[in-house]
Amino acid sequence: MKRSKKTRNNEVRTHTKSNVHLPKHFWKVLLLSLVLLFACMIASLVFGSRIVTREELFAGLFQPEYESYGASVVRERIPRTIFSLFCGAALGVSGALMQAVTRNPIADPSILGVNTGASLFVVAGLAFLNISTAGEYIWLAITGAMLTAIFVYGVGSMGRSGPTPLKLVLAGAATSAALSSLVSAIMLPRSDVMDQFRFWQVGSLGSANWSSNTLFIPFLLVGVILAIITAPALNALALGDEVATSQGVRTGVLRLVAAFAGVILCGAATALAGPIGFVGLLSTHLMRLTLGADLRFIIPMSALSGAGILTISDVCGRLLGSPGELEAGVLTAFLGAPILIYLATRMKVRSL
């Protein structure tokens, strides 16, 4: 049954108060999410081109002195599993923030063109700056994502009506198409750049290692902490700028901080794993469907669901592409595109 706009506004208004009311079935959803996430982690360690046994799994995890091929495979998969959890959590939180800032239920880094902006700066770095380290990838991707987000929001804000959800989606789609053309224009004449870029572009977790995990942690912590801090004010923003301002929220500063958190999360994940789309859309709507509209719960739970979605997508890609692998970005797009079509046809793209 669809809720009226008045009902949704009353629900969000209760979430802006200082007292915290747990959503219905919160503990059940949290427990189920943790169990499923643990199952995804085990599956990521066990399955692949070489399926390991239970004994090899325990030896690889708890017996560092034990040497066997299966145990070595498990140890090699540990950093990839952790990396998929980090990237999925970052993309889940980023999607929740972008939906809240734009008040658009189908906002996502890939839909708003942020991923494409990061891709443009990465391919430009490969072509003109000869970048090679993960740190260079990250800073270029974050810069590209941030400039693209500013541009899309600026274009979507033009006109008397301001930054409406529909205008932001259209601005993001148009910007993404234009930037994709620039990516192709830079890449096609340079076969060496194309070889490096084409594997990164589809979104893969295969290059994960302990170094990339260590590099990713600061960006993940900063983004998630900012997201959690801004969650109560974002609940007020869902009621509209006038209502939020009357409650003491500085809407301009709030949008800037929340958008910055979303961009650095998306940019860092995109730099290291490639432009993986739809994870933020899937994870946020899954939690919104089960827990309601309160962002104080949606944001951390989107991190859990995003981590699980990306990890299980990576596992399925390894199984479907065996003895090679099908990149995780292909799987998330395959899952996310039908859901996006459903949301676009069944929901009024006006505001959350």
Read off the pLDDT of each residue in 312-322 and give the average, rounded to a whole number.
87
Phi, psi of 239 (to 5 degrees): -85, -10
171, 164 Cβ separation under 8 angstroms: no
Q: Two tokens at 220? A: 């993940």
Higher pLDDT, 220 or 347: 220
Give me the percent of the chain exceeding a pLDDT of 90. 28
Q: Mean pLDDT lowest for which of 53-67, 201-215, 269-283?
A: 201-215
Q: How confident is the model at residue 320 (pLDDT cuts 50, 70, 90)?
A: confident
Report whether pLDDT(153) > 60: yes
Which of 9-13, 285-289, 346-350 has the largest mean confidence? 285-289
User: What is the secondary structure of 249-298 as a DSSP string?
Assistant: --HHHHHHHHHHHHHHHHHHHHHHH----SHHHHHHHHHHHHH-S-HHHH
The CATH superfamily assigned to 82-346 is ABC transporter involved in vitamin B12 uptake, BtuC (1.10.3470.10)
Q: Mean pLDDT lowest for which of 240-244, 273-277, 343-347?
A: 343-347
Give me the percent of the chain exceeding a pLDDT of 70. 88
The closest of 270, 268, 280 to 100, measured between CA atoms, is: 280
Q: What is the pTM assigned to this prediction? A: 0.85
Distances (CA, A) of 28 to 25, 32, 34, 35, 198: 5, 6, 10, 11, 42
Report whether pLDDT(307) > 90: yes
What three-state secondary structure class fits 3? coil
Distance of alpha carbon 105 from alpha carbon 284, whole angstroms: 9
Q: Mean pLDDT lowest for which of 9-18, 95-104, 191-200, 232-241?
A: 9-18
15-51: pLDDT as tens digits: 554 556 788 889 999 999 999 999 999 999 999 888 8
Report whether pLDDT(223) > 90: yes
**Cβ atoms < 10 Å from Cβ of 251:** 15
Residue that has been written with the tokens 């991190």 in this structure: 303
pLDDT for 97 equals 92
Report whether pLDDT(108) > 90: no
Q: Two tokens at 316? A: 């399925």
**Cβ atoms < 10 Å from Cβ of 170:** 14
Distance of alpha carbon 129 from alpha carbon 208, whole angstroms: 23
Read off the pLDDT of each residue in 274-299 and give the average, rounded to a whole number.
87
Q: Mean pLDDT lowest for which of 77-91, 154-168, 269-283, 298-312?
A: 154-168
pLDDT for 35 equals 96
Distances (CA, A) of 30 to 26, 124, 140, 247, 306: 6, 42, 36, 30, 13
pLDDT for 162 equals 67
pLDDT for 19 equals 59
pLDDT for 126 equals 83
- Provide the residue ranges of all domains of the chain, joining segments of one domain with +: 82-346
Q: How confident is the model at residue 350 (pLDDT cuts 50, 70, 90)?
A: very low
Instruction: Report, in angstroms and rounded to the nearest whole number, the Rg of the chain calculated over CA atoms.
Output: 20
334-348: pLDDT as tens digits: 877 777 677 666 655
177-205: pLDDT as tens digits: 899 899 888 888 777 777 777 766 666 78
Q: Mean pLDDT lowest for which of 196-200, 243-247, 256-260?
A: 196-200
239, 13 Cβ separation under 8 angstroms: yes
Distances (CA, A) of 135 to 145, 216, 232: 15, 9, 33
Higher pLDDT, 234 or 6: 234
CA angle 195, 197, 198 (to 5 degrees): 70
pLDDT for 328 equals 81
Q: How confident is the model at residue 333 (pLDDT cuts 50, 70, 90)?
A: confident
Residue type, 348: K
